[in-house]
Amino acid sequence: MGKIKVTPCEIEGLYVIEPTVFKDERGYFVETYNQKDFAEAGLNMVFVQDNQSMSVRGVLRGLHYQKQFPQGKLVRVISGRVFDVAVDLRTSSKTYGKWVGVELTAENKKQFYISEGFAHGFLVLSEEAEFAYKVTDFYHPGDEGGLAYNDPEIGVDWPIPEDMELIMSEKDKKWGGLAETFKF
């Protein structure tokens, strides 16, 4: 039924995916994932788990990655607005340490596919946001690593308004920079 538009980002392994939205006077319908459409677009990942979270304005989650069991993630926003970021941790990549950010909203229906080997995080820009994502491997407790969201070596340009107070977990406040990070 639906088709998708896949736009590769400037870093290999990252894609913005825009599904077709069918609207009428009743509302809308959208296929957020169709294995056949993804395969036709050259995206042959296998998802094993779906996750969903809700966060309030100013929450910054990440930048997270799994060390031994890296996960590919297909992320989207169900309600609200977030700035979503992926950082390349693949040491063999010419874009190692580089990042891409995408604004995901309930209105634009964009999705962001982040391949294995990237750190991932997001900042909530709306009063609250519901965030949903599919992953290619199960979560393994004790395997999580992270990067400081404000590591100057990476230089993520987070769109933090002057009146926004960041809300972060204690764990996310303690991550080190790229120089101390696990590398794929």
64 is catalytic: yes
Angstrom distance (rounded) from CA 31 to CA 47: 16
CA atoms within 13 A on the CB side of 109: 15
- Which one is catalytic: 15, 65, 113, 133? 133
120 is catalytic: no
Closest to 128 (Cα-Cα) out of 144, 112, 105: 105
Closest to 75 (Cα-Cα) out of 16, 35, 141, 161: 16
Instruction: Identify the helix (H) or strand (E) that includes residue 51.
Output: strand 49-56
- Which one is catalytic: 64, 65, 113, 120? 64
The sign one gets for the Cα dihedral 39, 41, 47, 50 is negative
Task: For residue 60, give both structure tokens.
Answer: 């910054």
Say if residues 160 and 54 touch (Cβ distance below 8 Å): no
End-to-end Cα, the chain, rounded Å: 38
What positions carry a catalytic annotation? 64, 133
